[in-house]
Chains A and B, each alone.
Chain A
Amino acid sequence: MTRFTRLALAGALALGLAAPVPSSAQADKNVLVWGDTLPAGLDPHAIFDVPMQFILLNMYDTLYRYSGNPPVLQPWLASGHNVSEDGLTWTFKLVPGVKFHDGSPMTASDVVYSFRRLLGMKRGPAGAFLPVLKPENVTAPDAETVRFVLDKPYAPFLAAIPLVAIVSQKQLEANVKDNDFGSAWLSANGAGSGAYRLDPASYRPREALDLIRNKDHFKGWSDNPKPIDLVRSRPVAETSTRVLALMRGEIDATDSYLPTDQVERVEKNARTRVARDESMRIFIIRMNNKKPPFDNANARKCFAQAFNYEGFNQVILKGYVDRNPGPNPRNLWGNPPNLAGYKYDLAAAKASCDKAKAEGAKLDRELEIHIQSELEQTSQAAQMFQADLQKVGIKMKIVPSTWAQITSATGKPETSPDLWIHWVSTYFVDPENWIGQMYDSQFFGTWKASSYYSNSAVDELLRKARSTSTQAERDKLYQDATTRVVADSPDIWVYNTIQLRGLNKRVQGYKFSPVGGGGDLRWMSLSE
């Protein structure tokens, strides 16, 4: 043996290379390793995004809660509710005997505190309530009753209730510093009553978080005979690493946005599978309706007819999405039956462009489409669109951007780009979340209404739907509004997402809901 060989062997032994390394997840059969993204902090009243749903669903409880697909709203901390005839007063009765993780009882006072805290901080999901609810109008007539008095009738109020985590007033008030509502403390701690409680010692922001099963959860565990006692959340940032980690067994679940080109790979692996579930998340190419040439309806139609829906959905995304012809997810109520939407037809696009030009629309300047650089699909869609537009004589430049930059730029029509791409996810399950907040001109300045589409008839229909209490009537109003919006073609609606989550086959009881994306741990177990 030469000196070099001896040295190399010694190095190998020092690193422990001689023995294969068991994968982390396999090393402990009772621990689930969850590889999905964690939010930037843990305060559910400060941050409201898709990763926060995992914290909200597992560490906290809400008055009502969504489950299943399509999602059904069911009483959770509340045993039920009633609404006054004028639609202004909502009264919720609480389930008795609920306890927070610190052992203290949950009362109506905690619910009032939670809503007032949210409305006072004006962050996260507060935007869904601020236009109709004042903090002082959330009250507790007794220890088991909570009353909300709205400023004006707001039919989606109940649909938005699951956005608000109920936190322990006692724990929060003990940790307030500089009038911060205890937010600095709650960003790294838990103050809920959910099915899982945080192990604070394990928490490293966006890197690691351990959840321990709350055996005393008020719903009990009779519906899951073998719940998971310990869940280690270990987000994996890079897609390629995430997929490899799943295949190797280092993690048990990826996020639910598995790239379509990885699906086959994961399914071929003996250890893993892909859960496919239709969600409510629309992929949209937005157009600035206040800026020429998009202030011309025929110009907008030209663009809608020049996008190759089939090519993008079926070829680039391999059919792992569903064509969505309008602004609402196709699996939600409020859509007109047989809504066809626009079809890829370059001849028709050219004809629409010619009409627009005849009406004075200037289509000869180079237009800009802003994509989210870190999200590959936005770039793929833009490149395909660019090539097709060139065929009808339109030049389009692709500008790399980020979500933060896009939402800032679209705050005003003057600073908004010509076109930009994003998704609209399920914040709450109601057409108000999509068409209501996207095409009512009162929402101008928010990212959802960033195409600055304005139609007084549509405004009227959407406002009426918002204040009408029966779903059957609201359904008709939304159908009418959708037909008008689609005819005006303010944006290009491409697909409704099928969420793809890579899972280790040992994970059982995985239940998907568009709210939370399948991150509800209380149903899951691990097979031997």
Chain B
Amino acid sequence: MLLFLIRRLLLAIPALFGLMVLTFVLVRVVPADPAATLAGETASRQQIEEIRKKYGFDRPLYEQFGIYVGQVVSGDLGNSVFSNRPVAADVRRTLPATIELIFSALLLATLLGIPLGTLAAVRHNGVLDHTVRIATVGGLAVASFWFAIMLQLLFSMELEWLPLRGRIGVNIGAPANVTGFFLIDSLLAGRWDQFVSSLRHIALPAITLAVPALATIARFARAGVLDTLQRDFVQYETAVGYPHRRIVWIYVLRNSVIAAVTQIGLLFGALVSSAVAVEAIFDWPGLGSYAVQAILASDYKAVLAVTLVVGVIYALINILVDLVHGLLDPRVAEQL
């Protein structure tokens, strides 16, 4: 298992390097001049050229890339060409908000999706099964920005149950930063008001993100359970009189959720991209919102940093999924 982990981590390095090359080239071939952005709106052509020289934008692209890789290897993501702040500080500030949102959505999707899929399979071709199938198709088809606005209109504007936007109440203030996750930091600080406010604020964006993920997980769980229910050991356990619930929720489920777990790993990547729209609508101050601002401002160092960080997280999640696979299925563990 340890060897597997080391091997996968080493394999991730060339993948991340490839990602850096691709992103660097893409960001720099886009016809947006960082020197012009940096010089500002009243700048003359001469001023722009001076800025280009000062910041090294006049050097060949491979040279600029070499300097950038050197900085990244030494742990420096550089300064934003626009705000002059260290990009790493901006990523540290915004990443926890996105991770907290995605994990909340995945948790919600998993906790609801697996039981729903299982129930649908157990009551195969029944009313519940048909309902779940129709609902999951709907969940996959619905556009997240539309669904988000509908949730805002219903729960914030009409019923006034939940806040419309933001991460925490304006007059409550953020909890002292320990992990960056407001739900955890507020509990660590013993601030119940901050915890409740954070929970209320995350509810609607997390539900918006969770719906398509829930649909995917439910469909895979249903298919897995249906397949397992046909296996000999289920018939044997039923014949010897094991309680039906025990068979379904312990033995069948354990043998059925492997595909769903793989999906959860893949969903993480999908949720990172969906989070961009959801963060914009709910004004969630995460990495997605930061990336959009960086792209619009041609802040190429910020764009590179976001891509690299998301790439690293994606690689780690995939490794984690493989490890969980091994834990769930000893046959897989032997192959690792």
Q: Measuring CB to CB, which residues of chain A are less than 8 angstroms from any residue of chain B?
A: 14-17, 20-21, 24-25, 27-28, 31, 33, 40-41, 43, 46-49, 122-128, 130-131, 180, 183-184, 187-188, 202, 204-208, 232, 234, 236-238, 240-241, 244-245, 247-248, 250, 374, 402-405, 407-409, 411, 415, 427, 443-447
- Contact between A238 and B283 (Cβ–Cβ < 8 Å)? yes
A127-B43, A130-B47, A446-B45 known; A404 and B296 CB under 8 Å?
yes
Query: What are the interface flags for B77-99 relative to A under an 8 Å C-beta threshold, 1 for contact and 0 otherwise?
Result: 00110111110001001000000
- Could you say which residues of chain A place their CB within 8 Å of the CB of B45? 411, 444-446
- Contact between B84 and A43 (Cβ–Cβ < 8 Å)? yes
**Contacting residue for B171 out of A16, A24, A407, CB 8 A:** A24
Q: Closest CB of chain A to B141's CB: distance in Å?
A: 21
Q: Closest CB of chain B to A418's CB: distance in Å?
A: 15
- Contact between B160 and A21 (Cβ–Cβ < 8 Å)? yes
- Contact between B84 and A17 (Cβ–Cβ < 8 Å)? no
Residue of A nearest to B285 (CB): A207
- Contact between B163 and A250 (Cβ–Cβ < 8 Å)? yes
**Contacting residue for B170 out of A25, A184, A415, A427, CB 8 A:** A25
Residue of A nearest to B38 (CB): A123
- Contact between A184 and B285 (Cβ–Cβ < 8 Å)? no
Supply 13 A–B pairs (Cβ within 8 Å), ascending by A: A21-B160, A24-B170, A49-B41, A122-B51, A126-B43, A187-B85, A206-B293, A404-B297, A405-B30, A427-B42, A445-B45, A446-B43, A446-B45
How large, as a class, is the contact surface on chain B? 35 or more
Give 9 A-B pairs besides A24-B171, A184-B86, A405-B31 with Cβ atoms closer than 8 angstroms: A41-B85, A47-B82, A184-B84, A234-B170, A241-B283, A247-B157, A248-B160, A402-B298, A443-B44
- Contact between A205 and B85 (Cβ–Cβ < 8 Å)? yes
A20-B160, A245-B164 known; A404 and B37 CB under 8 Å?
yes
Residue of B nearest to A128 (CB): B42
A49-B41, A238-B280, A238-B283 known; A404 and B298 CB under 8 Å?
yes
Q: How far is the CA of A338 from the CA of B299 in the complex (A)?
A: 45
Q: Closest CB of chain B to A527's CB: distance in Å?
A: 19
A187-B84, A207-B285 known; A48 and B44 CB under 8 Å?
no
Query: What are the interface flags for B232-275 relative to A under an 8 Å C-beta threshold, 1 for contact and 0 otherwise?
Result: 00000000000000000000000000000000000000000000
Q: Closest CB of chain A to B258's CB: distance in Å?
A: 27
- Contact between A31 and B171 (Cβ–Cβ < 8 Å)? yes
Q: Measuring CB to CB, which residues of chain B are less than 8 angstroms from any residue of chain A?
A: 30-33, 36-45, 47-48, 50-51, 79-80, 82-86, 90, 93, 149, 152-153, 156-157, 159-166, 169-171, 173-174, 196, 199-200, 203, 280-283, 285, 289, 293, 295-299
- Could you say which residues of chain B place their CB within 8 Å of the CB of A409? 31
Residue of B nearest to A250 (CB): B164
Q: How far is the CA of A49 from the CA of B170 in the complex (A)?
A: 26
Q: Closest CB of chain A to B297's CB: distance in Å?
A: 6
Q: How far is the CA of A40 from the CA of B90 in the complex (A)?
A: 11
- Could you say which residues of chain B place their CB within 8 Å of the CB of A43? 84
Q: Closest CB of chain B to A486's CB: distance in Å?
A: 25
Q: How far is the CA of A47 from the CA of B163 in the complex (A)?
A: 33
- Could you say which residues of chain A place their CB within 8 Å of the CB of B37? 404, 407-408
- Contact between B169 and A126 (Cβ–Cβ < 8 Å)? no
Q: How far is the CA of A197 from the CA of B84 in the complex (A)?
A: 21
- Contact between B40 and A48 (Cβ–Cβ < 8 Å)? yes
- Contact between B31 and A415 (Cβ–Cβ < 8 Å)? yes
Residue of A nearest to B293 (CB): A206
Q: Closest CB of chain B to A476's CB: distance in Å?
A: 26
**Contacting residue for A123 out of B40, B44, B90, B293, CB 8 A:** B40
- Contact between A205 and B83 (Cβ–Cβ < 8 Å)? yes
- Contact between A408 and B31 (Cβ–Cβ < 8 Å)? yes
- Contact between B44 and A130 (Cβ–Cβ < 8 Å)? yes
Q: Closest CB of chain B to A171's CB: distance in Å?
A: 17
Residue of B nearest to A415 (CB): B31
Residue of A nearest to B196 (CB): A16
- Could you say which residues of chain A place their CB within 8 Å of the CB of B170? 24-25, 27, 31, 33, 232, 234, 250
- Contact between A41 and B31 (Cβ–Cβ < 8 Å)? no
Q: Closest CB of chain A to B189's CB: distance in Å?
A: 15
- Contact between B171 and A131 (Cβ–Cβ < 8 Å)? no
Going nearest first, the 10 A-B pairs with the smallest beta carbon separation are A445-B45, A127-B42, A41-B83, A408-B33, A404-B298, A24-B170, A404-B32, A40-B83, A20-B160, A207-B285
- Contact between A244 and B164 (Cβ–Cβ < 8 Å)? yes
- Could you say which residues of chain B place their CB within 8 Å of the CB of A187? 83-85
- Could you say which residues of chain B place their CB within 8 Å of the CB of A415? 31
**Contacting residue for B161 out of A17, A208, A234, CB 8 A:** A17
Residue of B nearest to A206 (CB): B293
- Contact between B165 and A241 (Cβ–Cβ < 8 Å)? yes
- Could you say which residues of chain B place their CB within 8 Å of the CB of A208? 285
- Contact between A248 and B41 (Cβ–Cβ < 8 Å)? no
A17-B162, A187-B83 known; A408 and B47 CB under 8 Å?
no
A122-B39, A409-B31 known; A240 and B149 CB under 8 Å?
yes
**Contacting residue for A21 out of B36, B161, B171, CB 8 A:** B161
Residue of B nearest to A409 (CB): B31
- Contact between B157 and A244 (Cβ–Cβ < 8 Å)? yes
- Could you say which residues of chain B place their CB within 8 Å of the CB of A444? 45
Q: How far is the CA of A15 from the CA of B162 in the complex (A)?
A: 9
Q: Closest CB of chain B to A162's CB: distance in Å?
A: 13
- Could you say which residues of chain A place their CB within 8 Å of the CB of B157? 244, 247-248
Q: How far is the CA of A241 from the CA of B279 in the complex (A)?
A: 11
- Contact between B32 and A405 (Cβ–Cβ < 8 Å)? yes
Q: Closest CB of chain A to B27's CB: distance in Å?
A: 12
- Contact between A16 and B199 (Cβ–Cβ < 8 Å)? yes
Q: How far is the CA of A458 from the CA of B43 in the complex (A)?
A: 22
